[in-house]
DNA sequence: TCTTATTTGTAAGAATATCTTTCATATGAA
DNA sequence: TTCATATGAAAGATATTCTTACAAATAAGA
């Protein structure tokens, strides 16, 4: 394309608006400018092309023969451009919001709330990718991820979704009558740990326990851990928020707790976010603040 | 057309240039701006559309899927616009220059010179409209007229083509041995006058002659008058320049003369002038100045 | 591995384009 | 004529767009 041959695009647009409306004032209204601005643009175009496009007629205007021919071409060109942009927006709207979280967070925090989102925004489809892997956020791929870090590791300011006590938790049936006074007491119990992580050994070292024999650790996806722990199959280290109800009711027992230690925060892909992604983000923050306030209430 | 839905046209153009060249630097070169300007425009577009169109890849860039789709549509839209503008310019170039002069001026001044124009600019066709009527200059119609006024009536500054003595002139054969001392002497001769004008009676009243009986006036187109006067069919009032050669050679005789009294000047249609019209105008002025200088020489 | 050349990314201020305001001019209708 | 309506023109205000200057990332070559 030889761009140097084209007159200023804004003047072409102004001229098309004049051709469509048949009036500078109406064209100005369509373009959200004054009649004078439209007139200047058209004059610029005429001078640039050295052709009269619009002539005054009585108290209105009329297009010249050349003006009509040009307007016809420009209209079809602009309408193709317009359609191209609209296609893009269209596909962008119906394209699902691509979200990645850990399996545990997905089942314990997100799933119970997701119905609320879908009832509020039935037109925005969601695509959830529950994985403990840290997936790369890039345009065209995952757009939002909710990541976990303990508070010691958070350096730059982040947007948290959930700040929770981190607890070592088990079903009372597993513990039985045992006295649990010290972390070291737990080395003999069966542990459940998220696939591909080292949460459990990290916790022991954080608590200063030196492991002299190997732990019994079953690795599995986070959502399965939650079920298994509830069944009494083992102990795990997780966010208190995921078991709040069971803790209250006594169905689950907290063995150790680190206050406000775990932070689930939002990460978004670089570049501009689609409108539907922004809507989801706002909803996420809203849910998060409801959480916090209800926590304050209790 | 709903213009409010369209992103800034300049940002669309920048994006197309990037899509075509595959690089900000090259796109900048094509658009005669810096790479930074292009980058800013593309970013503006992405933000406006809330879609990533271009992603960085290594030390270059790559279009996203959406970017490619949009670029395709935009390119076709812009190329239609481009073609529309080119069609217009094309037709504007080949369209003949529309010129109106009086028949006398056309035959006596313009025709002898027109060959020079056509040899210099063979691609610019001329359409000559020789008429004594004052035709309206309007876009799409006559673009240049050469008009006559005597110097008393010229008020606003004009662009003259020819400033000439105005003479009452006749062939020696018509006069014979008669002594012509006073304008009144001429009332008995046959006069030739441009159709639709009053030059002759105007001249008599200008010279203070009260006409007590009707003049013998034959009305005819200016070019025929010139021939008829040369044949000796009558007297006429015209520009000396039209008969310069015959006066020098004694073939025609000047009876009365008013120095630098007649002014032929250029009028152009309102609005912008086409390139070919401007070329013709420049040629006209050039011819005019050659005239003046040769007059000064003599 | 370290440098170098190349390209994109960012931000501040300069340059340019665009718009509004105001008044003037032209025209058709009452 | 006078009024209502529309375009035209010019000056100053506003907004956009661009350049400059530097930073960051990366691939190729020493």
User: Contact A253/A170 with Cβ under 8 angstroms?
Assistant: yes
Greater model confidence, B201 or A294: B201
CB-CB under 8 Å, A73 with B84: yes
What's the gap in Å between the CA of A276 and the closest CA on chain B? Answer: 10
List the beta bridge partners of residue A253: A170
- Tell me: pLDDT of B296 over 60: no
Closest partner residue to A9 (CB to CB) among B10, B139, B272 is B10
Q: What is the DSSP letter of A235?
A: B
User: Contact B280/B144 with Cβ under 8 angstroms?
Assistant: yes
A3-94 CATH fold: Arc Repressor Mutant, subunit A (1.10.10)
Query: Most B CBs within 10 Å: which of A32, A63, A81, as the mutation test of the B interface?
Result: A81
Residue of B271, B35, B87, B132 lying closest to A51 (CA atoms): B271
Q: What is the pLDDT of residues A61-76, one digit of tens each?
A: 999 989 999 999 999 9
Q: What is the pLDDT of residues B126-158, one digit of tens each?
A: 999 998 888 888 777 888 999 998 888 877 778
Q: In chain D, which nucleotides are within 7 Å of a protein Cβ?
A: 4-11, 16-21, 25-27
Q: What is the pLDDT of residue A295?
A: 52
Q: What is the mean pLDDT of residues A41-65?
A: 92
Which of B44-48, B155-159, B293-297 reaches the highest mean pLDDT? B44-48
- How far is A117 from A45, CA to CA, in rounded Å? 50
Distance B120 CA to C13 C1' (A): 50
- Tell me: pLDDT of A284 over 70: yes
Distance B35 CA to D17 C1' (A): 13
Question: Which of B41-45, B151-155, B161-165 is predicted with the least confidence, judged by mean pLDDT?
Answer: B151-155
- How far is A124 from A159, CA to CA, in rounded Å? 22
- How far is B117 from B96, CA to CA, in rounded Å? 13
Q: What is the mean pLDDT of residues B193-197?
A: 86
- Tell me: pLDDT of B47 over 60: yes
Q: How many CB atoms lie within 10 A of CB A30?
A: 21
- How far is B109 from B285, CA to CA, in rounded Å? 13
Q: What is the DSSP letter of B140?
A: T
Q: What is the pLDDT of residue A292?
A: 66
Q: What is the pLDDT of residue A135?
A: 84
Q: What is the pLDDT of residues B66-116, one digit of tens each?
A: 999 999 999 999 999 999 999 898 887 788 998 999 988 999 999 999 999
Q: What is the pLDDT of residues A151-207, one digit of tens each?
A: 887 777 788 999 999 999 999 999 888 888 888 889 889 999 988 888 888 899 888
- How far is A161 from A163, CA to CA, in rounded Å? 7
- Tell me: pLDDT of B123 over 60: yes
Q: What is the pLDDT of residues B261-285, one digit of tens each?
A: 999 999 988 878 888 888 999 999 9
Q: What is the pLDDT of residues A57-114, one digit of tens each?
A: 888 999 998 999 999 999 999 999 999 999 888 887 788 898 999 988 999 999 999 9
Burial of A71 (0-12, 13-18, 19+ CB in 10 A): buried
End-to-end CA distance of chain B: 66
Q: How confident is the prediction for chain B on average, in pLDDT?
A: 89
Q: What is the mean pLDDT of residues A44-48?
A: 93
- Tell me: pLDDT of B297 over 60: no
> Would the Cβ of A24 be found within 7 angstroms of any atom in strand D?
yes
Q: How many CB atoms lie within 10 A of CB B81?
A: 26
Q: What is the pLDDT of residue B246?
A: 93
Residue of B278, B135, B99, B274 lying closest to A66 (CA atoms): B274
Is residue A67 helix, strand or coil?
helix
Q: What is the pLDDT of residue A163?
A: 92
The verdict on A57 touching B (C-beta cutoff 8 Å) is no
Q: How confident is the prediction for chain A on average, in pLDDT?
A: 89
Q: How many residues does chain A have?
A: 298
Q: What is the pLDDT of residues A193-225, one digit of tens each?
A: 988 888 888 899 888 888 888 888 999 888 889
| A to B CB pairs, distance under 8 Å | 175
Q: Which class is domain A97-297?
A: alpha beta
Q: What is the pLDDT of residue B294?
A: 57
Angle at B283 between CA B281 and CA B285, to 5 degrees: 70
Distance A291 CA to D25 C1' (A): 41
CB-CB under 8 Å, B272 with A65: no
Q: What is the pLDDT of residue B293?
A: 61
Tokens of B67: 């970017």
Chain B CB contacts of A17 below 8 Å: 1, 3
User: Contact A80/B76 with Cβ under 8 angstroms?
Assistant: yes
Q: What is the pLDDT of residue A274?
A: 83
Q: What is the DSSP letter of A233?
A: S
Chain B CB contacts of A269 below 8 Å: 52
Q: How many CB atoms lie within 10 A of CB A119?
A: 8
Which residues of chain A does CATH 3.40.190.290 include? 97-297
- pLDDT range class, residue A297, cuts 50, 70, 90: very low
- How far is B157 from B150, CA to CA, in rounded Å? 13
Residues whose CB is less than 8 angstroms from the CB of residue A63 and which lie 6 or more positions away in sequence, other chains included: A19, A53, A54, A55, A71
Task: For A127-171, give the DSSP string.
Answer: EEEE-SS-PPB-TTSB-EEEEEEETTT--S--EEEEEEEEEEEE-
Strand D interface, A 38-97, C-beta < 7 A = 39-40, 43, 54, 56, 59-61
CB-CB under 8 Å, B89 with A49: yes
- pLDDT range class, residue B229, cuts 50, 70, 90: very high
Q: What is the pLDDT of residue A115?
A: 92
Closest partner residue to A84 (CB to CB) among B50, B74, B91 is B74
> Would the Cβ of B40 be found within 7 angstroms of any atom in strand D?
yes
Which residues of chain B does CATH 1.10.10.10 include? 3-94
């Amino acid at each position: 394309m030889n761009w140097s041959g084209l007159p200023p695009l804004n003047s072409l647009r102004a001229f098309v608006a004049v051709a469509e409306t048949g009036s500078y004032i109406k064209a100005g209204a369509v373009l959200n400018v004054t009649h004078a601005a439209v007139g200047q643009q058209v004059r610029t175009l005429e001078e640039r092309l050295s052709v009269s496009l619009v002539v005054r007629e009585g108290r209105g205007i009329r297009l010249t023969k050349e003006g009509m021919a040009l307007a016809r071409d420009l209209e079809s060109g602009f309408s193709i451009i317009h359609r191209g942009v609209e296609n893009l927006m269209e596909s962008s709207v119906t394209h699902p919001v691509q979200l990645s979280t850990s399996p545990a967070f997905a089942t314990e925090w997100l799933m119970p709330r997701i119905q609320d989102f879908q009832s509020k925004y039935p037109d925005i489809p969601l695509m959830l990718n529950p994985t403990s892997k840290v997936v790369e956020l890039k345009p065209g791929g995952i757009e939002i991820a909710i990541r976990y870090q303990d508070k010691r590791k958070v350096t730059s300011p982040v947007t948290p979704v959930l700040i929770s006590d981190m607890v070592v938790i088990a079903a009372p049936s597993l513990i039985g009558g045992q006295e649990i006074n010290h972390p070291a007491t737990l080395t003999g119990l069966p542990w459940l740990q998220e696939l591909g992580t080292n949460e459990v050994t990290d916790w022991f070292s954080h608590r200063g326990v030196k492991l002299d024999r190997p732990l019994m650790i079953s690795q599995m996806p986070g959502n399965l851990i939650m079920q298994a722990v509830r069944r009494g199959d083992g102990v795990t280290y997780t966010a208190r928020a995921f078991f709040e109800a069971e803790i209250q009711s006594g169905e689950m027992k907290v063995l150790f707790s680190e206050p406000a230690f775990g932070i689930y925060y939002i990460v978004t892909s670089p570049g501009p976010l689609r409108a539907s992604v922004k809507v989801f983000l706002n909803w996420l923050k809203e849910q998060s603040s409801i959480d916090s306030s209800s926590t304050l209430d209790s």
